[in-house]
Chains A and B, each alone.
Chain A
């Protein structure tokens, strides 16, 4: 018990003293075992900007892995877009007591650099990633701007009805097209996102199929 507290103290100090990594750790509700870590989105990725992390340190740490999830919404194949749950081996089976908070956070940072769509946490995002990389990156960048405070190019986006299309990573023209048929906008976005109506897929999914799906709900 005592050893765990000592080790966590050291790890927090370690992050604090290391200015080069830009990793920050703060306490939540005054417990050294419930922390909030933050790091910058890696450069040259759509995630440039702040991202936050929620850290819970279990009783049997360091023999059991820390529990981490994203508080900030992140558009990434290995991160649940709804809950922020992270699919990363070192947070599960591949955990080893020699890993630290700092090294784990750095691993997460590098996970943002190199998504692993074949082992997805969020299957829809993974499909989007596989179908059209550029469209995926655009959406990821948009999420980073809206949720993680990343600097936007010129325009500062606001979360609103207008953004729903971009948040879902769809083309405005496609949504408008089906909305014009008399369907509710939210429903159109929902269906198109589920069908992965993006990039090359647009050609392979017939309009009839989309309408069929829309009518079903």
Chain B
């Protein structure tokens, strides 16, 4: 069963890896290049790369997770802190460019190898990975072409002609009194000419008035909708929004780039943590550890997103979707994945209770032996053993294996924690 499932697992998941590329002999440097643009922690192409104080580069989220676990660089073990993270836009540019080129280069490389193989006369053996990639590459290429061709001719003409027409009409409706807009070389549609003094567009019929008044623009009436907008903007600036209004504003306002500050949860009550979550429109269900984990996760995800170049940033909706996936993943593992580990830990405590008498006997047996132990055995031997028994009993994280070791073989000294 084992091998098949591994195979299925690997084929089902569309996972990119430096090993997609042919080896050094066939395509020198390609594998290394793909590897160099990957984060050493998650082994994906860099997402919002940041550098630590030591100069090593990681995805922002990976670096933040690592620092919260252990505040050192995973490569060189030099101390690291979140305050020292610096964004690396140059690396991000390189990664974005490589993301665009990867499928194409991969196709070239595999085609090249196939050709060389046929030239050599060796029939191409089955390559599950390259064929899969070749199948997917045309799609991504089309996507690429579309995104490139987007801003070119058709859209530009659209932007250049149609849009200003409606826009300028909206702006000058109040100025345009006469029904027929007359055309001039400068103003094809709406009868505006450029003021020779201030270079602003002014309706031809009003240009003299405009010049006489010393280039004052006639008060343009703001349309009702715009007026409302302006007012709401004013209000938004002054009155702090509460509840849902504020949340909506946050969702719309993607340009804010101030990171969420870190919170020390120990000084907060459950209610306050819930408020923090509600502020960002997150779930407020679950027990305290879950609330804290959720808020920490959101802060990491949110702040990591800010380390992207502004063009690469995800929208808040995407971040929220990511959070939902995280919640689902958590639920799934708490139901099935960790079930085994939970069972183990229960077994450990049960096991300890059941065998308490036997442990006691073993400890007792170890004690009186001490004085009569041969001289070459160090005196503290029994002591060490006793310590370990107590460690085992105290430490819930001790694996069940170690406990059994103590039990099955009374003489083996288990040294897991103290000597590591």
Query: What is the interface of chain A, defined by CB distance below 8 A to chain B?
Result: 1-3, 5-7, 9-10, 12-14, 16-17, 25-28, 30-34, 36, 56, 59-60, 62-64, 67, 69, 80-85, 87, 89, 92-93, 96-98, 119-124, 193-196, 201, 204-205, 209, 212-213, 216
Contacts and interface: CB of A to CB of B under 8 A. Distances in A.
Contact of B74 (A30, A69, A98, A124): A98
B97 to A, nearest CB: 22
B271 interface: no
A1 B329 contact: yes
Contacts of A17: 19
Given A34-B340, A82-B408, 17 more contacts: A6-B15, A9-B15, A10-B15, A17-B19, A27-B1, A28-B2, A33-B337, A36-B2, A59-B338, A64-B69, A67-B399, A80-B401, A92-B416, A119-B419, A204-B375, A216-B369, A216-B372
Nearest to A125: B412
Nearest to B332: A1
Given A26-B6, A122-B413, A209 B374 contact: yes
* 7 tightest Cβ-Cβ pairs between the two chains A and B: A1-B329, A26-B2, A83-B405, A123-B413, A83-B401, A92-B420, A82-B409
Contacts of B13: 5-6, 9
Nearest to A56: B341
Contact of B66 (A2, A97, A213): A97
A56 B340 CA distance: 11
Contact of A213 (B42, B75, B372): B372
B401 A26 contact: no
Contacts, number: 150
B168 to A, nearest CB: 49
B167 interface: no
A87 B415 contact: yes
A38 to B, nearest CB: 11
A85 B374 contact: no
B5 to A, nearest CB: 5
Contact of A63 (B69, B333, B405, B415): B69
B376 A204 contact: yes
A197 to B, nearest CB: 9
Is the interface on chain B under 10, 10 to 19, 20 to 34, or 35 or more residues?
Answer: 35 or more
Contacts of A36: 2
B401 A84 contact: yes
A16 B10 CA distance: 10
The prevalent SS among residues of A at the interface is mixed
B360 to A, nearest CB: 18
Given A16-B6, A120-B415, A80 B41 contact: no
A85 B401 contact: yes
Interface of B: 1-3, 5-6, 9-10, 13, 15, 17, 19, 40-44, 62, 65-66, 69-70, 74-75, 77, 325-326, 329-330, 332-333, 337-338, 340-341, 369, 372, 374-377, 381, 384, 399, 401-402, 404-405, 408-409, 411-416, 419-420
B325 A194 contact: no
A16 B19 CA distance: 11
Contacts of B384: 123
Contacts of B369: 216
B389 to A, nearest CB: 14
Given A25-B6, A30-B5, A83 B404 contact: yes
Contact of A59 (B3, B5, B333): B333
A41 to B, nearest CB: 21
Contact of A205 (B43, B376, B413): B376
Nearest to B4: A27
Nearest to B333: A59
Contacts of A56: 341
Contacts of B405: 80, 82-83, 85
23 contacts: A10-B15, A16-B10, A27-B9, A30-B5, A63-B70, A69-B399, A80-B402, A82-B404, A84-B401, A85-B399, A85-B405, A87-B419, A119-B420, A120-B419, A121-B415, A121-B416, A122-B412, A122-B413, A123-B381, A193-B411, A205-B374, A205-B376, A212-B372
A209 B369 CA distance: 12
B336 to A, nearest CB: 8
B402 A124 contact: no
B69 A81 contact: no
B1 to A, nearest CB: 7
Given A119-B419, A122-B412, A83 B44 contact: no
Contact of A13 (B15, B42, B44, B416): B15
Given A30-B5, A97-B74, A13 B10 contact: yes
Contact of A10 (B1, B43, B329, B402): B43
B376 A2 contact: no
A26 B4 CA distance: 9
Contacts of A5: 13
